[in-house]
Amino acid sequence: MRSGLRLRNQKDFAAGVIYIVAGAAFALGALNYRIGEASRMGPGWFPFAIGILLTLVGFATLYNGLRKSAAVERIKRPHPSTIAWVLGAVVLFGLLLQPMGMVLSLLVLVLVSSRASHEFTWTGALLNAIALTVFSMLVFIWGIDLQIPLWPAFMQ
């Protein structure tokens, strides 16, 4: 009788590893800034806390892929076209942000990257773009007051 953990869900295991690596990188990177304390938080406090939380989520996800009751799932080989759609969307967003503004750039980002999914629908992509744009405006424009143009210069 063998005991111990066996890899049953490759997707959860791989996602857990990615979360752990990203979370640890954020937490370690945050140590280059003053952390402060809870009553007087420094610039490193938030990225350090997010890094720790992401690492903890990673360990939970990784463990979920090892449980006996986990669904057996294998990682499929990614299609080059899927990678190209997603990377192309990110590059387009970066190129369009200043001249076209955040609203139109996010619309392009979501619509182009959505083409990578075999479950793509125009309705779903547009609803996702609207939700992401509203959220981004709330957080980045009105929340932390980033100086990003919302619209192209000719529309302001």
> How far is residue 35's CA from residue 39's CA, in Å, rounded to a whole number?
11
Region 121-133: mean pLDDT is 88
pLDDT of residue 138: 87
In one-letter notation, the amino acid at residue 131 is A
> How far is residue 62's CA from residue 97's CA, in Å, rounded to a whole number?
36
Calculate helix-pair angle for 80-114, 122-136, nearest 10 degrees: 70
DSSP 36: E
Residue that wins the pLDDT comparison between 72 and 132 = 132
Residue with tokens 């800034």: 33
When pLDDT is cut at 50, 70 and 90, the band that residue 118 belongs to is confident
Region 24-38: mean pLDDT is 91
Residue 151, pLDDT above cutoff 90: no
pLDDT of residue 59: 96
> How far is residue 22's CA from residue 110's CA, in Å, rounded to a whole number?
23
When pLDDT is cut at 50, 70 and 90, the band that residue 31 belongs to is very high
Residue 9: other Cβ atoms inside 10 A? 21
- What residues contact residue 133 under an 8 Å CB cut-off, 6+ apart? 102, 103, 106, 107
Region 17-42: mean pLDDT is 92
Extract the runs of DSSP E, i.e. beta strands, from the chain: 36-37, 40-41
pLDDT of residue 1: 44
> How far is residue 53's CA from residue 47's CA, in Å, rounded to a whole number?
10
Instruction: List the chain domain ranges.
Output: 10-66, 80-155
pLDDT, tens digit, for every residue of 55-112? 999 999 999 888 787 777 888 888 888 899 999 999 999 999 988 988 899 999 999 9
Residue that wins the pLDDT comparison between 140 and 24 = 24
Nearest to 31 by CA among 48, 50, 46, 55: 48
pLDDT of residue 2: 53
pLDDT, tens digit, for every residue of 34-67? 988 888 888 889 899 999 999 999 999 999 888 7
- What residues contact residue 104 under an 8 Å CB cut-off, 6+ apart? 96, 151, 152
